[in-house]
Structure 1
Amino acid sequence: MDMRKQDGITLIEKIATTSNLVVACEKVYKNKGAAGIDGITVYEIDDHMVKYQKAIIAKLLDGTYEPQPVKRVSIPKENGSMRNLGIPVVRDRVVQQAILQII
């Protein structure tokens, strides 16, 4: 199956651009949220992305990007039961947002 669009660019090529990842970073930062298993917070994501952005783009383009495991936490609900949450690392949230922006 040909994955190319009419403009000759695949979806992953559109997703894995510096400009798309920068916008995704900004949106993840504004949304706040807890750190994942790596302990990196949204407040540290700019420095992290500057350091690893080229590697993330390369892994997205060659199909080797793998999200990290999610951090499992339980929070109490009003009725006394617990709600289970999975918190992805911030880098994976940025990649998810970058995908969402294109599709």
Structure 2
Amino acid sequence: SNTKGTDGKTIDDIKELTDETVINTVREMLADYKPKSVRRVYIPKPGSDKKRPLGIPCIWDRLVQQCILQVLEPICEPKFHNHSYGF
């Protein structure tokens, strides 16, 4: 997503960095990782006048989340039932 988090950055800001810079930054973050606060926005619920809260993490936290997903998904996915959809 191109939505800015609390750091005001988007994926386009990360694209400007070299691969080596991104990798080194993630490595440094993972040594003592603490996610930053999320940016809270309220989006409308379909078919209702109500809104629901949505927390938007900063771009670096999203990147770390994806790195962790890439490691854990192939380990965990085969252990789940074929018809388990997380609901």
TM-score in terms of structure 1 length: 0.58
Q: Deviations over 1:34-70 (max 9, x none)?
A: 110111011111235754541430331x3x1211110
Structure 2 unaligned spans of 5+: 73-87
Q: Does residue 100 of the first structure (1) align with residue 69 of the second (2)?
A: yes
C-alpha spacing 1:72/1:49, structure 2 compared with 1 (3 Å): farther
Which residue pairs with 2:27 in the alignment?
Answer: 57
Q: Does residue 70 of the first structure (1) align with residue 38 of the second (2)?
A: yes
C-alpha distance in structure 2 between counterparts of 1:67 and 1:49, whole Å = 23
Q: Percent identity?
A: 39
RMSD: 1.9
TM-score in terms of structure 2 length: 0.67
With a CA cutoff of 8 Å and minimum separation of 6, indicate the structure with the bigger relative contact order: 1
Look up the SS of the partner of 2:27 in the other structure.
Answer: helix
CA contact (8 A) 1:68 1:92 kept: yes
